[in-house]
Amino acid sequence: MNEQALKKFFEKLERKIFLSNSYKEYAHIDSPLPIGYEQTISQPSLVLEMTRILSPEKESKVLEIGTGSGYQTAFLAEFSAKVHTIEVIEELSKQAKEKLSKLGYSNIFYKVSDGSSGWEEEAPFDRIIVTAAAGEKPKELIKQLNVNGRMVVPVGPQIAQDLLLITKDEKGKIKEEKLMKVRFVEMVGTYGWETNRF
According to CB under 6 A, which one of 51, 131, 144, 161 is a site residue for ligand SAH? 131
Q: Is 138 in the site for ligand SAH (CB under 6 A)?
A: no
Q: Is 166 in the site for ligand SAH (CB under 6 A)?
A: no
How many binding residues for ligand SAH (CB under 6 A)? 25
Contact 99, 70 (CB under 8 A): yes
According to CB under 6 A, which one of 74, 80, 114, 125 is a site residue for ligand SAH? 114
> Which C-beta is closer to ligand SAH: that of 36 or that of 172?
36
Q: Nearest approach, Cβ of 103 to ligand SAH (angstroms)?
A: 14
According to CB under 6 A, which one of 19, 92, 152, 166 is a site residue for ligand SAH? 92
B/e letters for 42-76, b = 16+ CB within 10 Å, e = fewer, are bbbebbbbbbbebbbeeebbbbbbbbbbbbbbbbb
According to CB under 6 A, which one of 6, 19, 33, 41 is a site residue for ligand SAH? 41
Q: How many residues does the chain have?
A: 198
- Which residues have C-beta within 8 Å of that of residue 51, sequence separation ≥ 6? 1, 6, 72, 75, 76, 79
∠40-44-46 over CA atoms, to 5°?
A: 90
Closest to 1 in 3D by CA, of 87, 9, 174, 41: 9
Q: Nearest approach, Cβ of 55 to ligand SAH (angstroms)?
A: 17
Given 20, 22, 31, 42, which residue is catalytic?
Answer: 42
Active centre residues (catalytic):
42
Q: Footprint of ligand SAH on this chain (CB under 6 A)?
A: 39-42, 65-66, 68-69, 71-72, 86-89, 92, 114-116, 131-132, 185, 187-189, 192
